[in-house]
Protein backbone atom coordinates (compact mmCIF):
# COMPACT_ATOMS: atom_id res chain seq x y z
CA UNK A 1 0.00 0.00 0.00
CA UNK A 2 1.16 3.51 -0.77
CA UNK A 3 1.35 6.12 2.01
CA UNK A 4 -1.69 7.87 0.52
CA UNK A 5 -3.64 4.58 0.60
CA UNK A 6 -2.80 4.15 4.28
CA UNK A 7 -3.93 7.72 4.99
CA UNK A 8 -7.15 7.11 3.03
CA UNK A 9 -7.75 3.91 5.00
CA UNK A 10 -7.20 5.74 8.29
CA UNK A 11 -9.73 8.44 7.23
CA UNK A 12 -12.20 5.74 6.17
CA UNK A 13 -11.92 4.04 9.56
CA UNK A 14 -12.56 7.33 11.37
CA UNK A 15 -15.57 8.03 9.14
CA UNK A 16 -17.02 4.55 9.78
CA UNK A 17 -16.49 4.92 13.54
CA UNK A 18 -18.10 8.38 13.53
CA UNK A 19 -21.25 7.10 11.84
CA UNK A 20 -21.21 3.79 13.78
CA UNK A 21 -21.08 1.60 10.67
CA UNK A 22 -20.89 -2.06 11.73
CA UNK A 23 -19.37 -3.52 8.54
CA UNK A 24 -17.69 -2.25 5.40
CA UNK A 25 -16.42 -4.15 2.33
CA UNK A 26 -14.29 -2.63 -0.44
CA UNK A 27 -13.30 -4.56 -3.55
CA UNK A 28 -11.19 -2.55 -5.97
CA UNK A 29 -9.37 -4.82 -8.41
CA UNK A 30 -6.82 -6.84 -6.48
CA UNK A 31 -7.35 -4.75 -3.31
CA UNK A 32 -9.94 -6.18 -0.95
CA UNK A 33 -10.68 -4.58 2.42
CA UNK A 34 -13.21 -5.82 4.93
CA UNK A 35 -13.78 -3.92 8.16
CA UNK A 36 -16.11 -5.23 10.83
CA UNK A 37 -16.64 -3.33 14.05
CA UNK A 38 -18.03 -4.91 17.21
CA UNK A 39 -21.16 -3.48 18.76
CA UNK A 40 -20.65 -0.64 21.31
CA UNK A 41 -21.39 -2.89 24.30
CA UNK A 42 -18.29 -4.97 23.49
CA UNK A 43 -14.69 -3.92 23.05
CA UNK A 44 -15.05 -2.24 19.64
CA UNK A 45 -11.57 -0.72 19.53
CA UNK A 46 -9.92 -4.16 19.68
CA UNK A 47 -10.48 -4.66 15.93
CA UNK A 48 -8.96 -1.27 15.21
CA UNK A 49 -5.86 -2.05 17.27
CA UNK A 50 -5.37 -5.22 15.22
CA UNK A 51 -5.65 -3.17 12.03
CA UNK A 52 -3.23 -0.55 13.35
CA UNK A 53 -0.78 -3.32 14.28
CA UNK A 54 -1.03 -4.76 10.74
CA UNK A 55 -0.46 -1.34 9.21
CA UNK A 56 2.50 -0.75 11.52
CA UNK A 57 4.11 -4.00 10.36
CA UNK A 58 3.80 -3.03 6.67
CA UNK A 59 7.23 -3.59 5.06
CA UNK A 60 7.22 -0.35 3.06
CA UNK A 61 9.74 2.20 4.39
CA UNK A 62 7.84 5.14 2.84
CA UNK A 63 4.75 4.22 4.86
CA UNK A 64 6.76 4.09 8.11
CA UNK A 65 6.25 7.77 8.96
CA UNK A 66 2.53 7.63 8.21
CA UNK A 67 2.05 4.56 10.39
CA UNK A 68 3.51 6.28 13.47
CA UNK A 69 0.44 8.51 13.34
CA UNK A 70 -1.70 5.40 14.02
CA UNK A 71 0.12 4.63 17.28
CA UNK A 72 -2.30 6.67 19.45
CA UNK A 73 -5.15 4.51 18.13
CA UNK A 74 -3.30 1.42 19.32
CA UNK A 75 -2.58 2.95 22.72
CA UNK A 76 -6.17 4.09 23.14
CA UNK A 77 -7.39 0.66 22.12
CA UNK A 78 -5.12 -1.10 24.58
CA UNK A 79 -6.26 1.22 27.37
CA UNK A 80 -9.95 0.60 26.74
CA UNK A 81 -9.70 -3.18 26.28
CA UNK A 82 -9.33 -4.00 30.01
CA UNK A 83 -12.30 -1.73 30.76
CA UNK A 84 -14.63 -4.05 28.82
CA UNK A 85 -16.49 -6.58 30.96
CA UNK A 86 -15.15 -10.09 30.44
CA UNK A 87 -17.49 -12.16 28.29
CA UNK A 88 -19.04 -15.08 30.16
CA UNK A 89 -18.28 -18.53 28.83
CA UNK A 90 -20.64 -18.91 25.89
CA UNK A 91 -20.90 -21.67 23.31
CA UNK A 92 -20.25 -20.34 19.81
CA UNK A 93 -22.02 -21.90 16.82
CA UNK A 94 -19.65 -21.68 13.84
CA UNK A 95 -20.38 -21.95 10.14
CA UNK A 96 -19.60 -25.39 8.73
CA UNK A 97 -19.33 -23.97 5.18
CA UNK A 98 -18.51 -20.86 3.16
CA UNK A 99 -21.54 -19.01 1.81
CA UNK A 100 -24.10 -16.30 2.49
CA UNK A 101 -25.87 -16.11 5.86
CA UNK A 102 -29.66 -15.85 6.05
CA UNK A 103 -31.44 -15.67 9.40
CA UNK A 104 -34.93 -16.42 8.06
CA UNK A 105 -36.41 -19.03 5.71
CA UNK A 106 -37.41 -16.38 3.15
CA UNK A 107 -37.22 -12.60 2.68
CA UNK A 108 -39.68 -10.88 4.99
CA UNK A 109 -40.27 -13.98 7.12
CA UNK A 110 -39.60 -14.10 10.84
CA UNK A 111 -36.05 -15.13 11.77
CA UNK A 112 -35.37 -18.72 12.82
CA UNK A 113 -34.03 -17.48 16.17
CA UNK A 114 -33.49 -14.15 17.91
CA UNK A 115 -31.47 -13.18 20.98
CA UNK A 116 -33.31 -14.42 24.05
CA UNK A 117 -34.85 -17.42 22.26
CA UNK A 118 -34.32 -20.90 23.67
CA UNK A 119 -32.89 -23.44 21.19
CA UNK A 120 -32.45 -27.19 21.33
CA UNK A 121 -29.58 -29.16 19.85
CA UNK A 122 -30.48 -30.02 16.24
CA UNK A 123 -32.90 -27.08 15.82
CA UNK A 124 -32.48 -25.09 12.58
CA UNK A 125 -31.14 -21.64 13.48
CA UNK A 126 -30.20 -20.20 10.07
CA UNK A 127 -29.49 -20.93 6.41
CA UNK A 128 -26.16 -20.63 4.62
CA UNK A 129 -26.47 -20.40 0.85
CA UNK A 130 -23.57 -22.01 -0.98
CA UNK A 131 -23.52 -22.51 -4.75
CA UNK A 132 -27.26 -21.82 -5.01
CA UNK A 133 -28.06 -24.48 -2.38
CA UNK A 134 -29.79 -23.48 0.85
CA UNK A 135 -28.08 -25.37 3.70
CA UNK A 136 -29.94 -25.43 7.01
CA UNK A 137 -27.58 -24.90 9.92
CA UNK A 138 -28.59 -26.57 13.17
CA UNK A 139 -27.70 -25.62 16.73
CA UNK A 140 -24.97 -27.88 18.06
CA UNK A 141 -25.89 -27.10 21.67
CA UNK A 142 -29.03 -26.35 23.68
CA UNK A 143 -29.51 -23.08 25.53
CA UNK A 144 -30.46 -19.44 25.15
CA UNK A 145 -29.35 -17.44 22.10
CA UNK A 146 -27.35 -14.51 23.47
CA UNK A 147 -26.27 -12.84 20.25
CA UNK A 148 -26.32 -13.24 16.48
CA UNK A 149 -22.79 -12.42 15.37
CA UNK A 150 -23.49 -11.87 11.65
CA UNK A 151 -26.02 -9.89 9.66
CA UNK A 152 -28.55 -11.11 7.11
CA UNK A 153 -27.09 -11.46 3.60
CA UNK A 154 -23.50 -11.29 4.87
CA UNK A 155 -20.87 -13.46 3.17
CA UNK A 156 -19.35 -15.82 5.74
CA UNK A 157 -16.31 -18.05 5.94
CA UNK A 158 -15.82 -21.62 7.12
CA UNK A 159 -15.55 -21.64 10.92
CA UNK A 160 -16.84 -18.07 11.30
CA UNK A 161 -18.83 -17.57 14.52
CA UNK A 162 -22.56 -17.18 13.82
CA UNK A 163 -24.32 -17.29 17.21
CA UNK A 164 -23.36 -17.30 20.86
CA UNK A 165 -25.46 -19.53 23.10
CA UNK A 166 -25.59 -19.63 26.89
CA UNK A 167 -25.80 -23.32 27.69
CA UNK A 168 -27.82 -24.62 30.62
In terms of domains, do 95 and 160 share one?
Answer: yes
In terms of domains, do 76 and 95 share one?
Answer: no
Using DSSP's 3-state secondary structure scheme, residue 11 falls into helix
In terms of domains, do 130 and 69 share one?
Answer: no
Would you place residue 70 in the very low, low, confident or very high pLDDT band (cuts 50, 70, 90)? very low
Q: What percent of the chain has pLDDT over 70?
A: 70
In terms of domains, do 47 and 23 share one?
Answer: yes
* pTM greater than 0.75: no
The enclosing domain of 124 has a CATH number of: 2.40.50.100
Give the end of a domain, one of 80, 106, 136.
Answer: 80
Q: Is residue 99 part of a domain?
A: yes
Round to whole Å and give the CA distance between 112 and 82: 35
Return the pLDDT at 50.
60
In terms of domains, do 126 and 75 share one?
Answer: no
- Considering only residues 24 and 59, tell me which one the structure prediction assigns the higher pLDDT: 24
In terms of domains, do 105 and 56 share one?
Answer: no
Give the end of a domain, one of 29, 46, 80.
Answer: 80
In terms of domains, do 52 and 99 share one?
Answer: no
- φ, ψ (nearest 5 deg) of residue 7: -65, -45
Give the residue numbers spanning the domain of 37: 3-80
The model's pLDDT over 78-104, given as tens digits with 9 standing for 90+, comes to: 444 443 344 568 899 999 999 999 999
Q: Is residue 120 part of a domain?
A: yes
Give the end of a domain, one of 80, 106, 139.
Answer: 80
Number of domains in the chain: 2
- Which residues are CB-neighbours of 131 under 8 A, at least 6 positions away? 99
In terms of domains, do 75 and 111 share one?
Answer: no
Q: Is residue 86 part of a domain?
A: no
Helices (H), the chain: 3-18, 45-56, 64-68, 71-80
Amino acid sequence: MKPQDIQDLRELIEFLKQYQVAEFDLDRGDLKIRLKFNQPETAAPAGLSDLARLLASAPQPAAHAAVHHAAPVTAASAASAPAAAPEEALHVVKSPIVGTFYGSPSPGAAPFVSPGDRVEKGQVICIVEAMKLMNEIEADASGEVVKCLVSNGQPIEFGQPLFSIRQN
